[in-house]
Amino acid sequence: MEYCVLAVIAGEERYGYEIVHILQEMGLATPEGTIYPLLTRLKKEGMVHSRWIQSDQGNPRKYYSITEAGMSSLREFKSNWLQFSGAVSKIMEEVD
């Protein structure tokens, strides 16, 4: 799940609710509350940056962006994943 979160913020800085919403729209049903501890862990590991921005509605939002280390880790995962999913797809093609 952490790589999915990194992928969601790879192109654009986003805040928690937005990240949860995007993941849910993509069919990744995950308990909403677990995303925030995950983001905190990614921040501690240096994979993401965060900053507070006051929203138009008045609520402070914590925006997350990916770091160089996070992007490097994400690229590595993507490469491995594409290789793995490609192999699985080939095997599955054999199934009627």
Binding interface with another protein (CB under 8 A): 15-17, 20, 31-34, 36-38, 40-41, 55, 57, 59-62
Half-sphere exposure of 92 (CA within 13 A, CB side): 6
Q: State the nearest-atom distance from the C-beta of 5 to another protein, in Å.
A: 13
Q: State the nearest-atom distance from the C-beta of 55 to another protein, in Å.
A: 8
**Phi, psi for 90 (deg, rounded to 5):** -65, -45
Instruction: CB nearer to another protein: give 59 or 89.
Output: 59
Give the whole-angstrom CA distance, residue 32 versus residue 45.
Answer: 21
CB atoms within 10 A of CB 74: 20
Instruction: CB nearer to another protein: give 61 or 78.
Output: 61
Q: State the nearest-atom distance from the C-beta of 38 to another protein, in Å.
A: 7
